[in-house]
Amino acid sequence: MKLFVPLTSKNECYKTIYYGIKRLVKVEKSIEDKLRWQAKCYNKTYPREMLHVDTKRLPLLKN
């Protein structure tokens, strides 16, 4: 049945190592940017720098 045979691509650029390395660099950069954003967002320099406040108004209670 030959199901595990590599298929030949019509486009020659997808067969090259240059394409694979270029794609790997792009994926690594996106992962690095995501990790840098998470570190900047959640790692604070001093306690209480990241503060969460709820501003929802509750109805008045009787009694």
Q: What is the pLDDT of residues 21-33, one digit of tens each?
A: 888 999 999 999 9
When the pLDDT of each residue in the chain is averaged and rounded to a whole number, the result is: 78
Asked whether the beta carbons of 50 and 42 are under 8 A apart, the reply is yes
Diameter over CA atoms, the chain: 80
Q: What is the pTM of this model?
A: 0.48
Domain boundaries, the chain: 14-42
> HSE-up of 60 (CA within 13 Å, CB side)?
2
CB under 8 Å to 44, separation ≥6 — which residues?
A: 50
How many angstroms separate the CA atoms of 48 and 56, rounded?
21
End-to-end Cα, the chain, rounded Å: 80
